Amino acid sequence: MPERKNLAGKAYVMGVDYGTDSVRTILVNAANGEEIAASVFYYPRWKEGKYCNAAINQFRQHPLDYVEGLEATIKDCLQKAGKEIAQKVAAISVDTTGSTPVAVDITGTPLALLPQFAENPNAMFVLWKDHTATKEAAEINEAADADKFLQFVGGIYSSEWFWAKLLHILRADEAVRNAIDSWVEHCDWIPFLLTGGNDAKAVKRGVCSAGHKALWAEAFGGLPSDDFFANLDPLLKGFTQKLFTKTYTSAEAAGTISKEWAERLGLPEDVTIGVGAFDAHMGAVGGQIEPYHLSKVMGTSTCDMLVAPANEVGDLLVRGICGQVPGSVIPSMIGMEAGQSAFGDAYAWFKNLLSYPLQFISDEKLKEEISSKLIANLSADAAKLPLNQKDELALDWLNGRRTPDANQLLKGAIVNLNLGTDAPRIFKALVEATCFGAKAIVDRFNEQGVGIKGLIGLGGVAKKSPYIMQVMADVMDMPIRIHKSEQTCAIGAAMFAATAAGLYEKVEDAMEVMGQGFDAEYHPNQEKVPYYKKRYEQYKKLGAFIEAQTSQKEVKSTIAVA
């Protein structure tokens, strides 16, 4: 059993998990992983649809949603637990969506918190799913020395990431361009806030966000050269000097809570604040990741995490994924990231489509009852459908393609429609498509020499959708274990908090003691596996056709502009 240190006086830790729609905080007993209290806060401005325009793939979030949610959920957890436990909190760690960066001034304050920028979307956090920077991502991919500087992020830079978003904002908004001092990821800013930071240069950057999205690498001695960015666009000249050279793992401390925040939250003044990371990275730890087992955090999108010993990976670089970074998940191993830009979002889109008539119903209770049952009923009916190679077939690229081979210009598609096509049949096609997209990721790892030994399912879809998980097992022709915890990202953050506070020597020890184990496992139905193998080939052919058509449109558009 791993050694547990100093638990007598300070036995509790908190994990704060910032998702797309809400922030979730849990208070955990570090001695055994028992959840003492939990709280959820839905972002009010985001819920109203403010600062977003889905038609142009613009998704921004106001920092006040984050700050208000941080305070509300921590206070709620402490109130539920009682003052005695509140005074025994040793540490807090945070995970967030990403890449979700923001422009800050010289004090590290997001520009949207200044009066003159309070309603300016370009001064807010640019959410992971924002794809307004596709042009900038394409330019990064085509730049001189791109092969060198993109080698550790799969060879392709995405519009979802740090530099593409920065360049887009600098080009789009002169006022922000004149006011910006630095560009900071959400997961790095919250610890900076809690520790009372007032100097943008003092923000401690996690290796997770820096390595997977900002192109930081030990091989470069930090970030790519200033010449690389200046040649890309003079607006970026000198920007690396405003950023960082050093990074930290999430097992390290960002600092100690500030007096102001300790009083504001009702916490002791010696609470350790851990270095932040992305949700799926901490979620993989909360879900007890194992080497060469792909941990799939399945929510609005998916983020697939894999860890492997550095001496076994060697110089191998997997093309078309979201990077491989030493220490980005478990400090002692190489962390590799992949994922799908739309997973739960694909089902949510279809649900919203079907829900259109509900706006004409005045009975709110009836509307909620119908809406809440839609996905469950669609799943039940889709599971009953016979399987046929001529069935409706879909692509899961409703929000572009994250991996393999990022291309956010790609669109979703549904073919083989006829007058017999109904809602369950389309839902079946969407489920198969999301599972085929997941298989393409597994295939890429296997083809590139990183063999996948198993699958671990985490997150809301994994816990609540048996039909989808069974299709996943059938498509993959592999078992998939479902983690018991409802909040693997938050519990992962709590494990890192315990490690940063010195309660455990390393996060693997915290993971072993605080982990909750698995409560379900789906095995492939061998009678259906041949069907899905043939359907997967159809999916790939459809994808190749749509991708070719997209490329032709890009060429024609370029010619027209020229």
Say whether domain 12-287+485-520 belongs to CATH 3.40.50.300.
Answer: no
Give yes or no for residue 562 having a pLDDT over 70.
no
Say whether domain 344-483+526-561 belongs to CATH 3.30.420.40.
Answer: yes
Neighbours of 118 (CB within 10 A): 13
Question: What is the DSSP secondary structure assignment for residue 300, as one 8-state letter?
Answer: S
> Strand, helix or coil at 120?
coil
Going by C-beta distance under 8 Å and a sequence separation of 6 or more, which residues neighbour residue 414? 392, 393, 394, 395, 426, 429, 430
What is the pTM (predicted TM-score) of this model? 0.89
Euclidean distance between CA atoms 158 and 203, whole angstroms = 24
Instruction: Determine the pLDDT at residue 559.
Output: 37
CA-wise closest residue to 127 among 41, 64, 57, 223: 57
Separation of CA 406 from chain center? 15
- Which tens digits make up the pLDDT trace of 12-59? 999 999 999 999 999 999 999 999 999 999 999 999 999 999 999 999
Q: What is the mean pLDDT of residues 133-138?
A: 95
Going by C-beta distance under 8 Å and a sequence separation of 6 or more, which residues neighbour residue 287? 295, 297, 456, 458, 483, 485, 488, 492
Q: What is the mean pLDDT of residues 488-515?
A: 96
Torsion sign across C-alpha atoms 478, 484, 488, 494:
negative
Instruction: Determine the pLDDT at residue 553.
Output: 59
- Which tens digits make up the pLDDT trace of 264-314? 999 999 999 999 999 999 999 999 999 999 999 998 889 999 999 999 999
Separation of CA 37 from chain center? 24
Residue ranges of the chain that CATH labels 3.30.420.40: 12-287+485-520, 344-483+526-561
Give yes or no for residue 408 having a pLDDT over 90.
no
